[in-house]
Structure 1
Amino acid sequence: MRAYSLTTGAVTSGKVYKQETIRQRSLQDPEGFWMEAQKDIDWIVSPTRALSIPSPSLLHKAQWFPDGKLNVCYNALDRHVSSGRAGQTALIHDSPVTGSVTKFTYAQLLDRVKRAATMLRDNGVGKGDRVLIYMGAVPEAIVAMLACARLGAIHSVVFGGFASAELAKRIEDCRPKVVLASSCGIEGMKVVPYKPLLDGALEMCVHQPGKVVVLQRPQFQASLGSGEETWRDAVDGISDDRVFHGFETVSANDPLYILYTSGTTGMPKGVVRPSGGHAVVLQYTMNSMYACGPGQVYWAASDLGWILGHSYMCYGPLLNGSTSVLYEGKPVGTPDPSSYYRVMAEHRVTTFFTAPTALTILRREDPDAEYRKQYDLSHVKAMFVAGERCPPEIHRWWVRHITGVDDAGKALHLIQTPVSNVVSDNWWQTETGSPLTGLEIGLSDDGAQLPPVKYGSAGMPVQGVDLRVLRIRDEFDEDDVDVIPEEVARGVIGYVVVKLPLPPGVMTTLWNDDDRFFDEYFRRFPGYYDTGDTGVIDTDGYVHILSRADDVLNVAAHRISTSSIEEVVVENNEIAECCVVARAHPIKGSVPVVMAVCKHQDHGEQVKEDIVEAIRNRVGAFTSLYKENIVFVDRLPKTRSGKVLRKMIRSMISALLVSKTSKLANIPTPATIEDDSVKEEIWAALSDWITGLEKRDIIT
């Protein structure tokens, strides 16, 4: 077992905070706790019980509010319109890349959603049908999501940066009846045509949607084919007398959406979100965790194609009667590092959410935060980061320039009274749909009643989450079931898991693949949900998430399957085989490293350039693969069964980059290795590669 060294500074003195008291109640009396929480949702048929478990052996198939019926769109819009919020702003689209700010009241947004639902209904979309949305950060994307929810249809939003091949996989898997797309997206000051990518994806697909509707943006007018129509004609052109005003009743455990996340195979995993439990948890966390009440403004600086966009750009704020900011821009370059501060100030944001990567970029571009000084941010109550671990130095920099408090050398940041400008990390996943850990800032206006912020941690476990850390028995054995999982002591690194049953709102299965659902998340540690992360719970109860335990890259909060990159690399005629692993990156968290075996001895730069170009075109530029991170070797280390020993490679890279060690003996040799002499060859190749990077001062 390995101990994790923590700079503890001042400790919390064993104080039990309200957050932990609430969590313990939710674990000891889940029925009572969640039946109380569900009262904030307007049900068509109110649930009579909170939790239903098929059998003790099927804890992972637990259902929440099993006899409840509702409509999520009604809860997000209609009930607020009828209860006095019709004229309140529901959505602000702030787009510095187009030089526009557009606001929609709850009544206006509801009208647009009804029109989009009418169009979908006219094209045969009903309860259980799928609709794929490929639109970017535009209001019509949120309209489309809510229109699907209104009809009981299942939407699948795909991030606009995906190339045709990845988009095609998702189309083939979810088989949408209708595809809604933008003609283009705007990333920074660059226009990215989406429609040609969609055309390329559909050419690869056996399944063809019955209808394609395209939002034509002025920056790029797409060519439309047979059966394709513009959003203006198909949706905006619907006359008032044709608008469908009804909505579909769905069961609490009917799917609200499918959101694809990278897996350890080439096929992405279609996470299925239950309607009722998700609505209850989002409503609860908007207030308890994120301290944003009805009528207040919530801004999550993300993309709708990621889980943050689903949970806290679209559904969470609107369920809560808050105002959501949809930002189409970057932290810098649109036009400068003042963008985030301007949006917070101009729209009187109460709660702000972004990725640590954005803070790293801001610090690089504006180290003294001169742009921040131009704006009054005293109205911002809480700021949250998530997506990857926030480095303590980045966290302290942001706190110093947001609050004026310099915590240099300190482990803790004490929350002041009244609570304002709190900057906290939290941790969750696409699969969970809402936080597993964090600091619940909304539980009190008295800073003394809230746990201090601990730099480097992701807060503490939240309601319904029975978080545990299990011993790593053999870090090179990735397949064996741990029949009797063993918990580690506080301060010891292990696998981060959650004891079953899981709280409401967590995925209920993977689309069309229930077997994979069990194998990926519940097989290895019976009785637990395997988060796929390693971490530690320290002596004060704070959770520190350290790294992924599998082969999924986390590049600037974008999870990417290594196999999706490998599939493209090996298509190069010069490549015999390859493997992809992660290496640490000071800004993006991690970036991919390709280790490849060439068919010929000529390892020219042209091969590397061809691979980089192929990855950009086939997977997407956000993978951040650079030719400097392509390493040619004579052979790859493998087990006797032919499995590449990626963990050994990752251990070597980490040792050379982080520990700066030159001792190969410190790297364990897996018992299953086919030929242990290859270990020395790989070490030598990686040593030469890293020496070359350091000589050229390359961090890519």
Structure 2
Amino acid sequence: MTTTDTTATGTEAEARLVENRVYPPSGAFAAQANVGPDVYARAAADPVAFWEEAARRLDWAQEWHTAHEWAPPVVDPATGELSVPEARWFVGGRLNVAVNCVDRHVAAGRGAKVALHFEGEPGDRVSVTYADLQRRVAQAAHALTALGVGPGDRVVVYLPVLVETVVIALACARVGAVHSLVFGGFSAEAVRFRLEDTGAKLLVTTDGQYRRGKAVEVKSAADAAAAGLEHLEHVLVLRRTGDDTPDVPWTQGRDVWWHDVVDTQPETHEPEFFDAEHPLFVIYTSGTTGKPKGLVHTSGGYLTHASWAHWAHFDAKPDDVHWCTADLAWVTAHTYEIYGPLSNGLTQVIYEGTPDTPHRERHLEIIERYGVTVYYTAPTLIRTFMTWFGDTLPAGHDLSTVRLLGTVGEAINPEAWVWFRRNFGRDETPVVDTWWQSETGAAMIVPLPGVTPLKPGSATVALPGVDVAVVDDDGVPVGPGRSGTLVVRRPWPGMARTVWGNPERYRDSYWAKYAGKGEHGAYYVAGDGATVDDDGYVWVLGRLDDVVNVSGHRLSTIEIESALVAHPGVGEAGVTGVTDPVTGQAVAAFVVPAREPAPSADELRAQVAREIGPVAKPRHVVVVPELPKTRSGKILRRLLAQLWDGQELGDTTSLQNPWAVDQVRQAVAAARTPKENR
């Protein structure tokens, strides 16, 4: 269970939530694991050679002549300006990403193996073999060429989770086009920004989409996004909802149907091979403030990192049925739903809909139907399951095929971790908690399930070949239990190479703060705060701006949230700092109850005081039905603070649940109203 550890230096004090539960790998799991404990020493002795070994798991048309080149940011003595850092991996090597994800498995005699089990929200299902996928990707590649799309051209994909979404992404990779996937629920403005920023030549979209049991027309939003963009030559439209959304707006000469342009193409395609540094995709950061950053990932380095990491920390086996529940537009799905699992030749489940459509047991049904062995999802969904199902899952679902669980999105609360293992994993399967970002390409801090003892709430230690640290403002590693800035001290293959069209922003956002530090001339700044415990395990505390400073006490929002979620009456909590005239900031807790009636504010304050200490008690407690989140499942704590302080909000249409904003606003108004006036 958790205990309290309070440390102080100078005028600052920090309250820490300490987790004492440890779950070592079982002997049976360790005996069959893909990776053993020796990998850490090998990778540390020669990281570049380690990544070369990982790269050789892929098929290369031409091997590289130089494994790694790195130019860190340096100050120009003449101008005083900091240079833009440049990383290159596997220089001179040439490969085709789609060949590595599809063709080579067919060539090896595995064409009849299922690549994708697709389940639509209305209940339609199709299983696509690797041979089927090869034919579909070939047709889509020919269609791209017919539409004038070639190497280096950009394609924006505005689709839900469909087989065709995977197909068009792989087809772009096959012809060397650069794809940018956009969540199908985003607003026209969000899509337009990505079209404009990339200078896209093609937009791929649908007539409509199924969302929460309804067919929703989408093409008009795509049209609004595309209006007047001279660089956009075509809009490729997939017929998904058909007669359920019969009125499809159409621009002759620009718009073309998928079934006319793709399904009529030849079923074989001769691939071209591209330089390892050739861009594969641009993925945009999300949020409600600031201009999104288009992060550029390359072909050779990204695929090396994605493929090896997936194989190692998910212990990927040939007979696995892997289900990553992320939307395909999120980076988690790029790495662990497209490129990682397919490069390793696995069978996957992809599901179009929401977890509660038509009922709350849909995920349990899907796991049972397809015999899912690896289930990878977000802490926010786990906490939602806790509020739906209580202490135990509903009876009648066989989850015995699950052999490994994973979490992603933000740090998982220890109690949610334990609940997940107990209910989905029979209290025996590993829970592989992964820390990484759109910028990093694949997991950076993650356990190896046959090697690493697990601690609920910690992503544990760095992936072999990756060097992370928690440092102070001078770049010096902090002691155990002290908070600092999470950094990466050495370049790695999956790292984003730049921000599309704005290399200076790439430098300033990620490298400038610790330029000149360390053996490699700079540290990558993740933007997260963290601590390291006595065993060297990293505990992510959330975004650096998610720390609340109450009278000099620096408090982690995630730690306070974890203390609240440990209460049996709390399903989920979002904590933020709000303006206070006396203490500068005060802790405000927004709580989703696990049952009715909700625990009282005094009861929850006492809970936090027991788990962390009196200094962390929330000043304000607001009970809400939902918390506003990004599509990746991250709680928008800054938005909660803006709602409490009555500030004007940015664009919220791209949220996973934009309706939650009004719900929180109403709850805040009620909480601010004196009881006698209610």
- TM-score, scaled to structure 2: 0.77
- Residue of structure 2 equivalent to 1:488: 478
Alignment of 1:251-400 (within 5 A): 251-262=275-286, 266-331=290-355, 333-371=356-394, 373-400=395-422
Distance 1:158 1:463 in 2: 31
Is 1:73 matched with 2:81? no
Q: 2:540 aligns with which of 517, 542, 545?
A: 545
- Say whether the 8 Å CA contact 2:378–2:408 is kept in structure 1: yes
Relative distance call for 1:520 and 1:81 in structure 2 (3 A) is: same
What is the CA deviation profile of residues 632-656 of structure 1, one whole-angstrom value per residue up to 9, with x for unaligned ones? Answer: xxxxxxxxxxxxxxxxxxxxxxxxx
- Say whether the 8 Å CA contact 1:469–1:535 is kept in structure 2: yes
Relative distance call for 1:153 and 1:550 in structure 2 (3 A) is: farther
Identity of aligned residues (%): 33
- Say whether the 8 Å CA contact 1:12–1:540 is kept in structure 2: no
- Residue of structure 1 equivalent to 2:552: none
Is 1:430 matched with 2:465? no
More deviation in 104-113 or 338-347? 338-347
Q: 1:180 aligns with which of 182, 201, 204?
A: 204
Relative distance call for 1:595 and 1:206 in structure 2 (3 A) is: same
What is the CA deviation profile of residues 409-466 of structure 1, one whole-angstrom value per residue up to 9, with x for unaligned ones? Answer: xxxxxxx6xxxx222321111111111111112xx3xxxxx32221121222112221
Deviation at 1:376, TM superposition (A): 2.7
Relative distance call for 1:301 and 1:63 in structure 2 (3 A) is: same
Distance 1:59 1:36 in 2: 29
Q: 2:64 aligns with which of 47, 66, 75?
A: 47
Q: Which secondary structure does the structure 1 equivalent of 2:18 belong to?
A: coil
Is 1:232 matched with 2:291? no
- Residue of structure 2 equivalent to 1:115: 139
Q: 2:495 aligns with which of 483, 502, 506?
A: 506
Relative distance call for 1:66 and 1:37 in structure 2 (3 A) is: same
What is the CA deviation profile of residues 148-187 of structure 1, one whole-angstrom value per residue up to 9, with x for unaligned ones? Answer: 0000110010111211111111110001111110122222
- Say whether the 8 Å CA contact 1:494–1:534 is kept in structure 2: yes
Is 1:92 matched with 2:127? no
Deviation at 1:619, TM superposition (A): 4.2
- Say whether the 8 Å CA contact 2:404–2:425 is kept in structure 1: no
Q: 2:153 aligns with which of 129, 139, 144?
A: 129
- Residue of structure 1 equivalent to 2:565: none
Alignment of 1:392-411 (within 5 A): 392-405=414-427
Alignment of 1:100-179 (within 5 A): 100-179=124-203
Distance 1:537 1:597 in 2: 32
More deviation in 391-400 or 262-271? 262-271
Relative distance call for 1:55 and 1:453 in structure 2 (3 A) is: closer
Distance 2:277 2:514 in 1: 25
Relative distance call for 1:199 and 1:324 in structure 2 (3 A) is: same
Is 1:692 matched with 2:672? yes
Relative distance call for 1:67 and 1:585 in structure 2 (3 A) is: farther
More deviation in 160-169 or 142-151? 160-169
Q: Which amino acid aligns with 1:310?
A: H
Deviation at 1:126, TM superposition (A): 0.8
- Say whether the 8 Å CA contact 1:535–1:545 is kept in structure 2: yes
Alignment of 1:48-63 (within 5 A): 48-54=65-71, 57=74, 60-63=85-88
Relative distance call for 1:166 and 1:335 in structure 2 (3 A) is: same
Deviation at 1:194, TM superposition (A): 2.0
Distance 1:315 1:695 in 2: 55
- Say whether the 8 Å CA contact 1:77–1:106 is kept in structure 2: yes
Distance 1:305 1:62 in 2: 25
Distance 1:187 1:301 in 2: 15
- Say whether the 8 Å CA contact 2:84–2:507 is kept in structure 1: no
Distance 2:188 2:489 in 1: 39
Relative distance call for 1:488 and 1:12 in structure 2 (3 A) is: farther
Distance 2:115 2:426 in 1: 32
- Say whether the 8 Å CA contact 1:582–1:590 is kept in structure 2: no
Q: Which amino acid aligns with 1:63?
A: R
- Residue of structure 2 equivalent to 1:672: none
Relative distance call for 1:541 and 1:192 in structure 2 (3 A) is: farther
User: How many aligned residue pairs are there?
Assistant: 561
Deviation at 1:691, TM superposition (A): 4.4
Deviation at 1:627, TM superposition (A): 3.7
Q: Which amino acid aligns with 1:499?
A: R
Deviation at 1:626, TM superposition (A): 2.4
- Residue of structure 1 equivalent to 2:614: none
Relative distance call for 1:590 and 1:56 in structure 2 (3 A) is: closer
- Say whether the 8 Å CA contact 1:465–1:503 is kept in structure 2: yes
- Say whether the 8 Å CA contact 2:73–2:85 is kept in structure 1: no
CA RMSD of aligned residues (A): 3.2
- Say whether the 8 Å CA contact 2:404–2:430 is kept in structure 1: yes
Alignment of 1:537-576 (within 5 A): 537-550=532-545
- Say whether the 8 Å CA contact 1:437–1:459 is kept in structure 2: yes
Distance 1:690 1:456 in 2: 33
More deviation in 355-364 or 219-228? 219-228
What is the CA deviation profile of residues 60-79 of structure 1, one whole-angstrom value per residue up to 9, with x for unaligned ones? Answer: 42211112110000011111
Deviation at 1:188, TM superposition (A): 2.1
Q: 1:223 aligns with which of 237, 249, 260?
A: 249
Distance 1:489 1:7 in 2: 15
What is the CA deviation profile of residues 369-423 of structure 1, one whole-angstrom value per residue up to 9, with x for unaligned ones? Answer: 342x423323222110110221112222222223444xxxxxxxxxx6xxxx222
Relative distance call for 1:141 and 1:56 in structure 2 (3 A) is: closer
Q: 1:32 aligns with which of 42, 49, 60?
A: 49
Deviation at 1:357, TM superposition (A): 1.0
Relative distance call for 1:302 and 1:56 in structure 2 (3 A) is: closer
Distance 2:299 2:149 in 1: 18
Relative distance call for 1:517 and 1:56 in structure 2 (3 A) is: closer
- Say whether the 8 Å CA contact 2:530–2:542 is kept in structure 1: yes
- Say whether the 8 Å CA contact 1:490–1:536 is kept in structure 2: yes
Q: 2:661 aligns with which of 626, 632, 648?
A: 626
Distance 1:620 1:59 in 2: 32
Structure 1 runs not aligned, ≥5 long: 406-415, 445-449, 472-481, 557-580, 632-685
Q: Which secondary structure does the structure 1 equivalent of 2:475 belong to?
A: coil
Distance 1:368 1:112 in 2: 44
Relative distance call for 1:582 and 1:250 in structure 2 (3 A) is: farther
Q: Which secondary structure does the structure 1 equivalent of 2:386 belong to?
A: helix
What is the CA deviation profile of residues 595-628 of structure 1, one whole-angstrom value per residue up to 9, with x for unaligned ones? Answer: 4899xxxx9xxxx9xx88x955x54563455246
Relative distance call for 1:389 and 1:191 in structure 2 (3 A) is: farther
Structure 2 runs not aligned, ≥5 long: 1-8, 25-29, 75-82, 516-521, 548-556, 559-586, 593-625, 628-634
Q: Which amino acid aligns with 1:451?
A: T
Distance 1:24 1:168 in 2: 47
- TM-score, scaled to structure 1: 0.74
Distance 1:346 1:11 in 2: 32
- Say whether the 8 Å CA contact 1:75–1:319 is kept in structure 2: yes
- Residue of structure 2 equivalent to 1:593: 640
- Say whether the 8 Å CA contact 1:264–1:551 is kept in structure 2: no
Relative distance call for 1:404 and 1:93 in structure 2 (3 A) is: closer
Relative distance call for 1:369 and 1:185 in structure 2 (3 A) is: farther
Q: Which amino acid aligns with 1:336?
A: H
